[in-house]
Homo-oligomer: A and B are copies of this chain.
């Protein structure tokens, strides 16, 4: 075989890409881990919202203030989507007017190295 593991170089086969049997999908499937991750990051503003939350817990209003050009509708959408994928945790405080704070879950924190890898690739010439 001429190209047993092009991506890994001369080392042993690594789990994941492109050696993993799951990496044989002939079409995009929602179960593919890469698809799962890219889906979690998908959408304009998504990574900026995550970046703000990597710096700490924020309320909806604080996020809106940090990203002034992001509309309420899209911010709501992003936070709901991130909650659905288990990246953020939503905490509604009792009282009036309601304040809602968002923080990253452990899974969300784990996105740090992923974003780091993306950053490093994008920053390289």
Count residues of chain A with CB under 8 A from any CB of chain B: 55
Chain B CB within 8 A of A98 CB: no
Chain B CB within 8 A of A93 CB: no
Number of copies of chain A assembled together: 2
Chain B CB within 8 A of A100 CB: no
Contact flags A23-36 to B (C-beta < 8 A → 1, else 0): 10111100011111
Give the docked Cα–Cα distance between A120 and B22 (Å): 13
Chain B CB within 8 A of A60 CB: no
Task: Return chain B residues, CB-CB under 8 Å to A18.
Answer: 51, 54-55
Task: Return chain B residues, CB-CB under 8 Å to A112.
Answer: 7-8, 17
Task: Return chain B residues, CB-CB under 8 Å to A7.
Answer: 54, 109, 112, 116
Give the docked Cα–Cα distance between A26 and B51 (Å): 11
